[in-house]
Amino acid sequence: MYKVHCLNNISADGLAVFTDEYELVDDIAHADAVLVRSADMHEMELPANLKVIARAGAGVNNIPLQKCADAGIAVFNTPGANANAVKELVLAGMLLAARDIVGGIAWVQENAADENVGKAAEKAKKAFAGGEIFGKTLGVIGLGAIGAKVVAAAEALGMKVVGYDPFVDAERAAAISADMMFVTDLADLYPACDYVTIHVPALKDTVGMVNAEAIAQMKDGVVFLNFSRDTLVDDAAMAAALEAGKVARYVTDFANPAVVAMPRAIVMPHLGASTKEAEDNCAKMAARSVMDYLERGVTVHKVN
C-alpha cells in the first residue's frame, strides 16, 4: 500500500485517479508520495521514505529540486495541464487593456445610487473608450504549451502574431502556426508589436529580462502582459515606462507592493490556473505521474 500526503487542497477528481493500492495520509512522515500546489517545501524536513513529489502545476520554484535529487526523491510537474486556463486569461487581459472595462465598471458602481445612472452613463462612457484587438499585432515570447495556444487564439480573433522562443526552430514554429512571423531575436519582436505576452519559466537567464533596455525597444503605447512569473519583469523599469506613457498598460497576474502602485497597471491575484478544469487536469496528471513512477519507474515530466 502506497501512502500519499497532500500539502495543499488537491482536486477530488485528481485524487480519484488513485487505485485501491494508494492511501491518503495526514502525516507527511509516513508518505511515499507528496502532491503539492503552492506550498513552499524549501525549509521542510523530507521524510526518509519519501520517494516522489508531484506538483499540480508547471512551476516548481517552491520545491528544493537539488535537495530532492540528493535524497533520491523524484520530482514531477504537470506541463500543459493548465495551459487553456492561462490562455483564456491572457485573452481577457488583452481585452481589459484594450477597452477600459475596469474603469467603466468602477464608474457604474460609484454611481449606483443615481436614479438617472443610465442617462449619465451615456455622457460618461466616452472617458472609457478604447480600441479593438482585431488587426493588431501580438508578440508571444515563449512558444510552449501556453504560448502555442495563445498564438492560435489570437489569430482566430484576427490578430497578427510574432513569435519568439530560443528553444524552437523554424520548422516547429511553422507547425504551431503557418501564419505566425517567427523571429530569432527579441529585437525584431518588440518594435513590431502592439501587445506583448511572455510565457517562459523563471531561470537565471530570464529573471529581469523585461528591463529598461527591452522596454525601450517596444512600440510607444504597447500593452505588456505577464501571466508567467513576476520576476521576469523589472518592476522599477516597468513603473517608469508606465509613468512616461511608453507602456500604455501592464497586465500582470502577480500582485506585489510595487505593481499595485503602478499607474495604469491591471493587477490580478494569480488567477491564471484558477479554474476547476485546470485544477482537475493538473491533479489527475500529478496522480498519474506518481502511479507511473512508483509502479513502473516511468520518468516522463521528471524535473530533477
Q: Is the pTM of this model over 0.85?
A: yes
- CA pair distance 59, 208, nearest whole angstrom: 17
Contacts of residue 65, defined as CB under 8 A and 6 or more positions apart, other chains included, come to: 75, 303, 304
Q: What's CA 242's distance to the chain center, in Å?
A: 22
pLDDT in tens, the chain (304 residues): 999 999 999 999 999 999 999 999 999 999 999 999 989 999 999 999 999 999 999 889 899 999 999 999 999 999 999 999 999 999 999 999 999 999 999 999 999 999 999 999 999 999 999 999 999 999 999 999 999 999 999 999 999 999 999 999 999 999 999 999 999 999 999 999 999 999 998 889 999 999 999 999 999 999 999 999 999 999 999 999 999 999 999 999 999 999 999 999 999 999 999 999 999 999 999 999 999 999 999 999 999 9
Q: Tally helices (H) and strands (E) across the chain.
A: 12, 12
Q: Regarding beta strands 195-198 and 181-183, do their DSSP bridges make them parallel or antiparallel, or are they unpaired?
A: unpaired
Cβ neighbours around 172 below 10 Å, total: 13
